Structure 1
Amino acid sequence: MTVLTLSQGKCGLSEGITRYMTAMATGDLMVLVFNVIVGEIIRDYFPGSLLNYTPACRLSVFLQGFSLQLSIWFTIAFTFDRFVAICCDKLKACYCTKRTANIVIIIMSALNIMVNIPLPFRYEPIHVLNNVQWGCRTVTGYLSSPAWAAHRWLTNISNMFVPIPLLLLLNSLTARHILVASRARQALKSSRGGAGKMGGDPELKSRRTSIVLLFTISGCFMVLSAPITVIHICVGVTHTVNYQGSTSLYTAIRVAFLLMCTTSCTNTCIYALTQRRFREEMTHVLTFPSTLLCKPRK
């Protein structure tokens, strides 16, 4: 519904922002499908599914890693676009465009594909029956291989260690610029005898709406992704390899993974809470089928 609503281009947003938000919604939907439905529900509750075949299992692993990274880096791309639009007046005209947004989305998708290409090769079939490969297990020497260790570090850096500090930096710089500009604008209007309140200034009201949307999206992402990042740091420092014997650590990892997947569900609620035009367009999309059915009767 979010992808369909945003793709209409009637939510009062620029074409660049619409492209980023549509990409974010698509990445979030992929996480819900491949990481939650396929990776958790079908794998655990449907033992006779296609995931028993090794090729399907490998493809599922690739799509799970790819979807998660798309969701993360599309959020960063959106935050950086808003940072440029608000803080960099000279760069704004050439960067904050539909063409740039399309290029950034394509480049990020290609880079994430390259990063996740090795994931299917991490697994090998458990057994082969009548030339059909069944099951998935980690290849021998995975933990001792320098190449796989480098790939693990690359994945952890791109998924956890870089996004949160980068979002914090961009948001703090954006907030600082907005506060300074708002104070200067209010002071200027007061000196001219105009209304210094934010409610009477459309420009300040627009900035406030932008910062609320930006901070709620990236803020929710940081809060819900922080637990899995902390756990990965602790596991890396303590060199924990097998955690299945530790009930508390296993529970913490599963809860942290649940919170990380929940980030894919929050953006639509944020759009609905902060964007009036989005609510109106989604209502129109929901009522459109019933409108078509009622027209012939009328």
Structure 2
Amino acid sequence: MGLSFWIKLQILRVVHDVQKIYFPILAAFGVPVNMVTIIILSRGKCGLSKCITHYLVAMAVADLLVVIIDLILRQIPIVYAEQFLFLRDIRVCNFHAVLLYATTDCSVWFTVTFTFDRFVAICCQKLRSKYCSEKTAAVVLAIVTVLSCLKNVFWYFLYSSQYWLSNSPWFCRVTLGVSFSLVWTVVELVHYIVTPFIPFLLILLFNALTVKNILVASRARKRLQCRNSRETSSDPEMENRRKSMILLFVISGNFILLWVVFMVCSILRRLDYLGYPIPLPIFVRELGFMLQLLSCCTNTFLYAVTQRRFRKELKNAVMFSFQL
């Protein structure tokens, strides 16, 4: 057991050393990347519908806020705690926590709403014209934003206003009586179930139903084409569905892949306090933080890979910046 503990401790130290380089680079990279994405998508020259554009812009804005509020204002001061000791005299940590968790919820649930919108567009033809519209997208995004803010108000009262600057899931000072109380445990467990456990299930469900519908529709259309003509002809409808499906699956898969470690660590840690101990090394949780924050900086590359017009606009933006 002693050797195992020593190995885990050494791995944790290596992870902390990597974070001191990883977090600043990610911050310097994440802010401009998300800003460029917002500008390109807002111009409306990527060949995407206004409905889809609304969701993608909202996701980019939420990711940008997460990079600023979580990565720059929390993680970097924690890994460089000695240089940020002055933050302990700034009593706004509980307010910071509300903003942090609200923006994180928005980032996650905007992905869910986008997934549901594409599910409706592909699988529910009768509902498509009513739901998949610019107005509906704006209303849905506004509702998600308001609910995310209201859901996280309780952090203001659970946390204290003083920063702790510790590599811990909570970064504000709290009393032991609060942090180990049943109320805290239940509230935090519900918090991590709502985000990101339920979004995981919904995204997997909508994607599975979408794949099933596309496969059935594809087989039916191929049989119909074979009956009407022996010549192989292109199918614009199936091509549009294919492009929409690729964009959907790439975004959803990226989210699931980069959030799964954080989700498992968060839920297992609270199950431990409820009396169901499942040992998990601390460095795994730290890796979860790193991957979760990486998810806020990757969508631009996903759009560039899957969307030809976005790739063209991004190339023009890069060339313009070099000319300046």
When normalised by structure 1's length, the TM-score is: 0.85
What corresponds to 1:22 in structure 2?
A: 57
Structure 1 residues 194 and 207, CA gap change in structure 2 (3 angstroms) = farther
Is 1:81–2:81 an aligned residue pair?
A: no
Deviation of 1:138 (Å): 0.7
Instruction: Give distance in 1, aligned partners of 2:263 and 2:96.
Output: 23
What corresponds to 1:118 in structure 2?
A: 154
Instruction: Give distance in 2, aligned partners of 1:139 and 1:238.
Output: 19
Instruction: Give distance in 1, aligned partners of 2:118 and 2:64.
Output: 23
Given candidates 290, 293, 297, the residue that maps to 1:258 is 290
1:144-293 equivalence runs, <5 A: 144-196=180-232, 200-239=234-273, 249-288=281-320
What corresponds to 2:71 in structure 1?
A: 36
Instruction: Give distance in 2, aligned partners of 1:107 and 1:255.
Output: 32
Check whether the contact 1:39–1:64 (CA below 8 A) recurs between aligned residues: no
Report % sequence identity.
Answer: 38
- Give the stretch that moved more between structures: 13-22 or 221-230: 221-230
Kindly provide the CA deviation profile for residues 84-129 of structure 1, in whole angstroms up to 9, marking residues without a partner as x. 10111111111000000000010000000011112122222569xx
Q: Secondary structure at the match of 2:92?
A: helix
Check whether the contact 1:54–1:124 (CA below 8 A) recurs between aligned residues: no
Deviation of 1:284 (Å): 2.9
Instruction: Give distance in 1, aligned partners of 2:145 and 2:112.
Output: 13
What corresponds to 1:132 in structure 2?
A: none
Check whether the contact 2:63–2:297 (CA below 8 A) recurs between aligned residues: yes
Structure 1 residues 48 and 255, CA gap change in structure 2 (3 angstroms) = closer
Deviation of 1:157 (Å): 1.5
Structure 1 residues 185 and 149, CA gap change in structure 2 (3 angstroms) = same
Q: Give the AA of the match of 2:40.
A: T
Instruction: Give distance in 2, aligned partners of 1:285 and 1:83.
Output: 32
Unaligned stretches of 5+ in structure 1? Answer: 128-134, 294-298
Instruction: Give distance in 2, aligned partners of 1:19 and 1:36.
Output: 25
Q: Give the AA of the match of 1:110.
A: V
Q: Secondary structure at the match of 1:265?
A: coil
- Give the stretch that moved more between structures: 252-261 or 53-62: 53-62
Q: Give the AA of the match of 1:228.
A: F
1:2-13 equivalence runs, <5 A: 2-13=37-48
Instruction: Give distance in 2, aligned partners of 1:142 and 1:275.
Output: 49
Instruction: Give distance in 2, aligned partners of 1:107 and 1:10.
Output: 27
Check whether the contact 1:50–1:56 (CA below 8 A) recurs between aligned residues: no
Deviation of 1:224 (Å): 1.4
Kindly provide the CA deviation profile for residues 187-212 of structure 1, in whole angstroms up to 9, marking residues without a partner as x. 11111115457xx2222221111111
Instruction: Give distance in 1, aligned partners of 2:79 and 2:158.
Output: 21
- Give the stretch that moved more between structures: 144-153 or 110-119: 144-153
What corresponds to 2:167 in structure 1?
A: none
Check whether the contact 1:228–1:253 (CA below 8 A) recurs between aligned residues: yes
Deviation of 1:56 (Å): 2.9
Check whether the contact 2:108–2:199 (CA below 8 A) recurs between aligned residues: yes
Q: Secondary structure at the match of 2:208?
A: helix
Unaligned stretches of 5+ in structure 2? Answer: 1-35, 164-170
Check whether the contact 2:94–2:156 (CA below 8 A) recurs between aligned residues: yes
What corresponds to 1:98 in structure 2?
A: 134
Q: Secondary structure at the match of 1:203?
A: helix
Deviation of 1:239 (Å): 2.9
Q: How many aligned residue pairs are there?
A: 279
Instruction: Give distance in 2, aligned partners of 1:50 and 1:19.
Output: 40
Check whether the contact 1:51–1:57 (CA below 8 A) recurs between aligned residues: no
Check whether the contact 1:83–1:171 (CA below 8 A) recurs between aligned residues: yes
Instruction: Give distance in 2, aligned partners of 1:224 and 1:154.
Output: 21
Instruction: Give distance in 1, aligned partners of 2:285 and 2:153.
Output: 25
Q: Give the AA of the match of 1:30.
A: L
Instruction: Give distance in 2, aligned partners of 1:96 and 1:49.
Output: 49
Deviation of 1:146 (Å): 4.8
Kindly provide the CA deviation profile for residues 123-172 of structure 1, in whole angstroms up to 9, marking residues without a partner as x. 22569xxxxxxx94114532354543442133111112201111100000
